[in-house]
Structure 1
Amino acid sequence: MKISKMWKAVVGGLAAGAAAGATAVQDGQVTAAEGITITLAVLGGLGVTWAVPNRQTTKDATEPGA
């Protein structure tokens, strides 16, 4: 399966944001500081995931035509 670098980063950012958001709403409200934390988690998840290169794959016996 080939996943582009962009979509890998989007999923990483959403996962980080969802985790921070779930923690923030535990008390029933989201403060400004928690909103900033969620935003930074999304941006951090995007940036870190974007910076890590995709693994180079080689053909193996499981792929058709190998």
Structure 2
Amino acid sequence: MRISSIAKSIVAGVAAGATAAVTAIQDGVLDTGEGVTIVLAVLGAWGITYAVPNKQASRDL
């Protein structure tokens, strides 16, 4: 299966953002600092995941 770098980074960003959002709204209030944390988690996951190349498939026969 071949997954593009863009698809991989979008999934990673959604997962990181969802994790940060769930943690941030535990107390029922979302303040500015928590919003910034969510945005930085998404952007960080996008950037890091997009920068790391996919593993090349080996052709062992």
Category of TM-score, reference length = shorter chain: over 0.9
- Work out the percentage of aligned pairs sharing the same amino acid: 54
Q: Which has the higher contact order (CA 8 A, sep 6+)?
A: 2
Unpaired segments of 5 or more residues in structure 2?
Answer: none
* TM-score scaled by length of structure 2: 0.93
* 4+ runs deviating over 2 angstroms: 58-61
- Matched residue count: 61
* TM-score scaled by length of structure 1: 0.87
Larger radius of gyration: 1
- Answer 1 or 2: which has greater helix percent: 2
Root-mean-square deviation (CA, aligned residues, Å) is 1.0
